[in-house]
A and B are shown apart, each in its own frame.
Chain A
Amino acid sequence: MTMAAWRPRVVVAVFPGTWSERDFAHVAENVLGWECRTLWHLEAELGACDAVVLPGGFAHGDHLRTGAIARFSPIMRAVEAFAAAGGPVIGSCNGFQVLTEAGLLPGALMRNDHLQFRCDWQSLRVERPERAPAWLGDLANGDVIRLPISHGEGRYVADAATLDGLEREGRVVLRYANVAGEVTDEANPNGSQRSIAGLVNERGNVLGLMPHPERAAEAELGGTDGLRLFRSLERWLQEQPAATERRL
């Protein structure tokens, strides 16, 4: 197999009520030229894959709590095993909520402080990208990126000890900011504690974020900063001997 023929293989998990899977698949296949499979939540096996996406939407209609039912889906056992083996996992929007419910990331996403849904372009400050090398490897500490947000329940909440631990370990990798990269209350669209927009697990392979990188992957849609996450993944995978083994 030549390197030119190599393509990342991603699996996008689909729960009843998920809606960003088509947008992720469009970017993966038509923008990046990746191989992409969408898998229904009842599947217990991921099959051969290099990364997993938990996309946005309203899994199970947000009944009970966002992500609360989805975490019990058979596919989540496979995602947990994949993550435990060091496989890169990204959960965006509802996917972030599923990750916290599943215990793959700490804390919870609560209703926005202003109690309204909010859809807009949002500036984010990148911090400690080396802590999430698979997803932010191409970005630098202090970079300001623009991604769309679209959620009613994106207010990140955790107890003080957890928050302090996350900060100490450099696991808060994306914060809501203004265009200058300053983290201010005015720039925080949902009242998230410490303006947290995205964080990684201890090992650094599981990233949860409220914004939608898949909506910022083509210039005609208003921005391409989302591509930087996907390009990071592509480069990281190419550098991983383990990934090469998974490919074979």
Chain B
Amino acid sequence: MGRKPNTVELGMFGAMWSEHCAYKHSRPLLGRLPSIGERVLVGPGENAGAIDIGDGLAVVFKVESHNHPSAVEPYQGAATGVGGIIRDIFTMGARPIALLNSLRFGPLEADDEIDSDAAARNRYLFGGVVGGIAGYGNCIGIPDVGGEIIFDPSYSGNPLVNAMCVGIARHDEITLARAAGAGNVLLLVGASTGRDGIQGASFASATLGDDREERRPAVQVGNPFLEKLLMEACLELARTDAVVAMQDLGAAGLTCALAELTARGGVGAEVDLDAVPRREPGMTPYEVLLSESQERMLIVVRPDQVADVRTIFDRYELTAASIGRIVDEPVITCRTGGEVVCRVPGRALADEAPQYVIHGAAPPAPDTNLAALAGQPVSASVLLELLASPNARDRRPIWQRYDHMNGTNTLIGPGAGDAAVLRIKGTSGALAMAIDGPSPARIGALDPYLAGLSAVLEGAVNVASMGAVPIGITDCLNFGSPQTSLGGWQLERAIDGIADACRALDLPVVSGNVSLYNETPDGPILPTPVVGTIGLIQDRDRALRMTWSEGDAIWLLGDAADDVEALAGSELAWRRGQRGGAPALDLPAVVGMVRLLPELAAASVIGAAHDLSVGGLGVALARVAVASGVGAEISVESAPSPTATLFAERVGRVIVALTPERVPELRDALAAAGVAGQSLGAAGGDRLSLDVAGVRLAIRVSELETAWRTPF
């Protein structure tokens, strides 16, 4: 700028150059993620990514975190997280059709690691977050169709709330956030501007300390009713040709929206801050520019169409204030009472934050004795313990609080499959969608590269298990401080893992978000890259289920995972205090299976599939038996460690069910694709009988169900 910035300008730079807005520690690394593909219509850098799904339609989607706000005010933190991600989707001109969420909390019950105060706080956060997601999504009328939730002490006091929204747009109605055309009018639409959420972006970029209660004013308050009106008005607007660009106001409020709109378009703006509708008198320019009041949009409109645009907003009783215009000189000038209060190049705010090169190193590997764990005898009580564990048990008490059917598209909803399946009205197709963290969930503690790699693979396997071809992902990187050696190493390795998995699967990353400084005085969270995956099913009548029928043949596809190291990072190992080991993964083998599953589904060779995750093969078999109300006779002849065979968790393994006469076709398909597979047995009866290298267990399905339905 060639001069010292004034106080207002410093505030603008402070917010825009925060980690939350500027990605200054992650941006150099994010360039490693592949974002190009034949189907990609809009890649990273816009409000959300868009991928072609045929019939002139696009799927528009993004995941975003709201971790820090949720740690201090869980209901509003989670609610505004949902509101923010929905705005990102309809800002693109897409009608939101689904919400998903990935959540992490500390344990809800006190144990050796968590005292009763911390457990009580975790329960408060858990209840508030679920309530906030339900409150916002139910009111605005967008179904919450899926998600995942993991409990671990590292998230105690620092929960993760990652919300994903999926929308559908016609190609010609996609609206970008790229201002253009000197003289075009800037309309600020929706809620009036208040003093809530000021410096939220900076707050979200700091480590959570003991002062977290005092940070409550930095959290915004959501109004889903207002956003519903805003959504309908903006979607109506996107169908006209009056809009040049549209941008929602999120972190850093008006400052960020002005900077990003103008920087993307290479233009500037003249803004009269006095024209901004206020909630209260006496607000300073600093406050107006940095307020994070929710449910606001900034729209660039051609001058001759302002009246038409106003008519639409009037109908929804929404304020549309003309606050300025676009100018050629790429500078944002704001005035109040005719006086200039700031004059900043938008690009300096949006694109020129300093970038840091991360330096980190691997920590020493923790001691562990997985061999001893692998040698322990297998018993029914271990399977029941894992089924009832907070990380595996039935999530119905959570998702039945979310409207998951609104919009009449939900073919397979929460709890009914590895991914949600929503039909695309007017076509024969459907979208499968999933949101997943690393698998196993704590693998990042052992190898952050595998955390990134496995999160992508888990999502791909989940949508493939519904018969879908994965076509793109969105990612949310939740990590501790990048300024520590550990944090820097974890972030870089995880991004490399995501990138390698995406390249192997030919999957573009079209949108995403980074949340760093997820630390409390007790330390950082587990490295938690979260991936939202979209899959396409051409013929939705061929979508797979996760239930088997009496007489079906049951097969395991993928690695047998019966070796000692396969237990590394597993729920069982963690529960037994064996928190080390060197997990390994055969990437090409998993890729082969992701490609094979939709082919098997399209040819109706298999009827059901279920991905193995928490609790491994044992829990997966129990889960399908409960869902089907039908038991099974399972036998694994050779198993170096029956414990590993039943409870190891290595990503990229699936059990499938098929009628016996299709087994030869399955064998041929596996051989042709080079995918490993073994026959496990057959479905039938009212108990799950397991014979693992001579070790026998038999548990009634009703007993499995009781354990699995342990309430929270």
Contacts and interface: CB of A to CB of B under 8 A. Distances in A.
Nearest to A114: B401
Contacts of B540: 220
User: Per DSSP, are chain A's interface residues mostly helix, strand or loop, or mixed?
Assistant: mixed
A117 B141 contact: no
Interface stretch (B63-71, B403-411, B557-565): B403-411
Given A17-B225, A40-B315, A220-B423, A119 B139 contact: no
Contacts of B316: 16
B228 A19 contact: yes
Interface in A76-135: 116-120
A117 B135 CA distance: 8
B228 A17 contact: yes
A20 B140 CA distance: 11
Contacts of B41: none
B401 A61 contact: no
A37 interface: no
Given A26-B425, A40-B315, A117 B408 contact: no
A22 B141 CA distance: 11
A62 interface: yes
Contact of A61 (B225, B400, B404, B410): B225
A116 B401 contact: yes
A57 B224 CA distance: 12
Greatest chain A CB density within 10 A among B139, B405, B410, B425 is at: B405
A148 interface: yes
B344 interface: no
A237 B90 CA distance: 40
B402 interface: yes
Contacts of B306: none
Contact of B408 (A63, A118, A221): A221
Contact of B134 (A62, A117, A217): A117
B138 interface: yes
Contact of A63 (B140, B225, B228, B403): B225
Interface in A203-230: 212, 214-215, 217-218, 220-221
A221 B404 contact: no
B223 interface: yes
B317 interface: yes
Given A16-B316, A16-B317, A221 B425 contact: no
B138 A117 contact: yes
A63 B139 CA distance: 12
A16 B406 contact: no
Contacts of B410: 221
B206 interface: no
Contacts, number: 78
Contacts of B404: 119
A119 B401 contact: yes
Contacts of B315: 40
Interface in A4-27: 16-17, 19-20, 22-23, 26-27
Given A61-B139, A117-B138, A214 B225 contact: no
A63 B226 CA distance: 12
A58 interface: yes
B138 A152 contact: yes
B401 A58 contact: no
A221 B411 contact: yes
A23 B407 contact: yes
A19 B224 CA distance: 12
B666 interface: no
Contact of B139 (A30, A58, A212): A58
Contacts of A26: 408, 425
Contact of A214 (B226, B228, B408): B408
A150 B134 CA distance: 11
B242 interface: no
Which bracket fits the contact residues of B?
20 to 34
Contacts of A118: 400-401
A120 B400 contact: yes
B229 interface: yes
B80 to A, nearest CB: 16
Contact of B223 (A16, A40, A61, A220): A61
A60 interface: yes
Greatest chain B CB density within 10 A among A20, A22, A150 is at: A150
A22 B138 CA distance: 16
Interface in B530-545: 540
B316 to A, nearest CB: 7
Contacts of A218: 408
Contacts of B226: 61
Interface string B130-152: 00001100111100000000000
B406 A23 contact: yes
A20 B403 CA distance: 12
B417 to A, nearest CB: 13
Given A17-B225, A17-B229, A26-B425, A57 B141 contact: yes
Greatest chain A CB density within 10 A among B141, B226, B317, B408 is at: B408
B405 A148 contact: yes
A15 to B, nearest CB: 11
B548 to A, nearest CB: 19
B223 A23 contact: no
A61 B138 CA distance: 11
Contacts of B405: 119, 148, 150, 212, 215, 221
Nearest to A14: B232
A60 B135 CA distance: 15
B232 to A, nearest CB: 9
A117 B403 contact: yes
A179 to B, nearest CB: 13
Interface in A25-42: 26-27, 30, 40
Contacts of B138: 58, 117, 119, 150, 152
A148 B403 CA distance: 10
Contacts of B401: 116-119
A25 B407 CA distance: 11
B403 A16 contact: no
Given A118-B401, A214-B408, A58 B134 contact: no
A217 B140 CA distance: 23
Greatest chain A CB density within 10 A among B224, B225, B315, B403 is at: B403
Interface string B203-235: 000000000000000000001111011000000
Contacts of A220: 411, 423, 540
Contact of B400 (A20, A27, A62, A119): A119
A60 B403 contact: no
B240 to A, nearest CB: 18
A119 B228 contact: no
Contacts of B223: 61
Nearest to A217: B408
Contacts of A58: 138-139, 141, 224-225, 228
10 contacts: A16-B225, A23-B406, A30-B425, A58-B139, A119-B404, A148-B405, A150-B406, A152-B138, A215-B408, A218-B408
Given A16-B317, A20-B141, A220-B540, 17 more contacts: A16-B225, A16-B229, A19-B141, A23-B407, A30-B425, A58-B139, A58-B228, A61-B139, A61-B225, A61-B226, A63-B225, A116-B401, A117-B134, A117-B402, A119-B400, A150-B403, A215-B405
Q: Which 3 A-B pairs have the closest CB atoms?
A: A61-B225, A19-B141, A150-B403
